[in-house]
């Protein structure tokens, strides 16, 4: 096994106990009872064991909405770093990545090394350990396609072990780890192709931006640069100078409807054009939440209380552009959108981020 880059070895130090807003991309969240830092897998396990039942793990903070009351227990900041090669041959390489490794740093490293499989997931904020929890996906790729195993601490058994990909229960933006406090992700194994070219381009918007046909392959660096450009144009790449990026990215998941429900949606949408949709398993259809939100009257820049707003670039992102709003204000805007879509189209939107000590 070889190291691509090393993880830090300095002793962990307690972090400040200021409001949790400083640890989230939304810049929202009240105080924690206690905040500690863990810089490797062993420290993550020990911090979790010490904390007992009231514990919240935060890494990139890009997919979490924390209530104004904060979190009364222990918050563990996951800051483990590192990537190493486990196995390799002429066609593939399997790498193990620590949970706290920033996701886009990993994607950039795979592109530099000529490893194909993650390039269309460029620019997604957050940590590597969060990707199997959410089964992160974008532009036609999902991490479920390349993950082979997840190393975990099992809080029920009190042991460290491994969950193979087949047992992770991967589904659209979901897995057995989501909304389940039993497992703490320590590291993730990915099997990637040794290739200078991307996987087959599956997403029509990306194909158009690349100037190729769906199914074509392009150089890895070109795929990454184009995805980063598309995401930046939607305010979906973190940028301190862009207030639209003070968000959790997509706030709502795309609804998955059966054939009957989709036909009812089409009838209610008469005169607005065909609702964008993608076929799923069986008679299921995934519908564009962004289209539903826009056609229900909530366009880009739609204002909410306390300065919250829908992003000026993308209707799926709810933002805290001034950094001074409350979580309650953001959720008030989210409820207005959810209820408006339900009234107009009969479709219920569900939040994509994890809500901590708050409800929608």
- As annotated, the active-site residues are 173, 250, 352
**Which H helix or E strand runs over 257?**
strand 256-257
Please give the C-alpha separations between residue 78 and each of 22, 37, 167, 308, 356, in angstroms, as whole numbers. 14, 6, 24, 28, 17
Cα gap 290→310, rounded to integer Å: 11
The SS3 assignment for 248 reads coil
Of residues 9, 53, 71, 37, the one with CA closest to residue 355? 71
Please give the C-alpha separations between residue 175 and each of 130, 133, 136, 167, in angstroms, as whole numbers. 11, 6, 10, 9
Cα gap 1→350, rounded to integer Å: 42
* Burial degree of 296 (CB within 10 A; 0-12, 13-18, 19+): buried
**Which H helix or E strand runs over 222?**
helix 220-233
Query: Is the separation of the CB atoms in 212 and 189 below 8 Å?
Result: no
Distance of CA 141 to the CA centre of its chain: 13
Of residues 309, 290, 293, 291, the one with CA closest to residue 301? 309
């Amino acid at each position: 096994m070889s190291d691509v880059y090393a993880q830090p070895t300095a002793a962990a130090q307690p972090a400040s106990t200021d409001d949790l807003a400083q640890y989230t991309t939304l810049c929202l969240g009240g105080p924690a009872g206690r905040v500690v830092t863990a810089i490797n897998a062993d420290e993550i396990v020990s911090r979790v064991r010490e904390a007992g039942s009231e514990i919240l793990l935060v890494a990139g903070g890009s997919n979490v909405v924390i209530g104004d009351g904060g979190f009364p227990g222990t918050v563990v900041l996951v800051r483990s770093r590192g990537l190493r090669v486990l196995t390799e041959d002429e066609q593939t390489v399997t790498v193990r990545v620590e949970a706290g490794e920033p996701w886009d740093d990993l994607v950039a490293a795979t592109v530099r090394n000529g490893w194909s499989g993650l390039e269309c997931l460029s620019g997604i904020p957050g940590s590597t350990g969060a990707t199997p929890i959410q089964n992160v996906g974008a532009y036609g790729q999902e991490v479920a396609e390349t993950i082979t195993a997840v190393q975990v601490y099992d809080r029920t058994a009190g042991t460290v072990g491994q969950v193979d990909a087949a047992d992770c229960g991967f589904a659209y933006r979901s897995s057995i780890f989501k909304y389940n406090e039993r497992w703490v992700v320590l590291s993730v194994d990915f099997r990637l192709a040794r290739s200078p070219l991307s996987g087959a381009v599956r997403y029509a918007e990306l194909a158009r931006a690349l100037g190729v046909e769906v199914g074509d392959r392009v150089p890895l660096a070109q795929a990454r640069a184009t995805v980063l450009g598309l995401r930046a144009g939607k305010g979906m790449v973190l940028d301190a100078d862009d207030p639209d990026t003070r968000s959790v990215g997509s706030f709502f998941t795309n609804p998955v409807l059966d054939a009957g429900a989709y036909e009812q949606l089409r009838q209610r949408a008469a005169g607005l054009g065909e609702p964008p949709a993608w076929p799923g398993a069986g008679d299921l259809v995934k519908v564009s939440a962004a289209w539903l939100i826009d056609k229900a009257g909530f366009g880009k820049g739609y204002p909410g209380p306390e300065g919250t707003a829908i992003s000026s670039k993308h209707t799926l992102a709810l933002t805290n552009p001034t950094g001074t709003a409350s979580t309650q204000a953001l959720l008030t805007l989210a409820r207005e959108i959810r209820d408006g879509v339900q009234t107009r189209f009969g479709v219920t939107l569900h939040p994509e981020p994890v809500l901590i000590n708050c409800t929608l």
